[in-house]
Amino acid sequence: MHQITLLHFLFVSSTLFCLGLFCVVARKNAIMVLMGIELILNSANINFVAFSRFGGFGYNGQIAALFVIILAAAESAIALAIVLNIYKMFNNVNVDEIDNMRE
């Protein structure tokens, strides 16, 4: 019978991070990008909790994770508001086509 170790958690967490990163880099839709960010944040949460459980830091990790979840909610709200404004301005939310910073 195999014990679930820190390594397993880190594996899951890094997989999730990579998926989130891929999502941020590769998807065209801004909403999808935001969702990728959520994945990255959640992979960080798993790391917090895992290190808290296996590293002997008490409940500090869990507290930080909760903090991140709240932060993610606030961040999503602001980001969605920005996306809404972008949509109003460019009539789409495709990050490829919004390249005004080039000039």
Whole-angstrom Cα distance, residue 65 to residue 53?
12
Q: Report DSSP state, residue 1.
A: -
Q: Smallest distance, Å, CB 25 to another protein?
A: 5
Restricting to residues 11-50, name those near another protein by CB under 8 A: 21, 24-26, 33
Nearer to another protein, 33 or 44 (CB): 33
Contact between 78 and another protein per CB under 8 A: no
Q: What is the per-residue burial (b if ≥16 Cβ within 10 Å, else e) of 76-98?
A: eeebeeebeebeeeeeebebeee
Interface residues with another protein (CB under 8 A)? 21, 24-26, 33, 95-96, 99-103
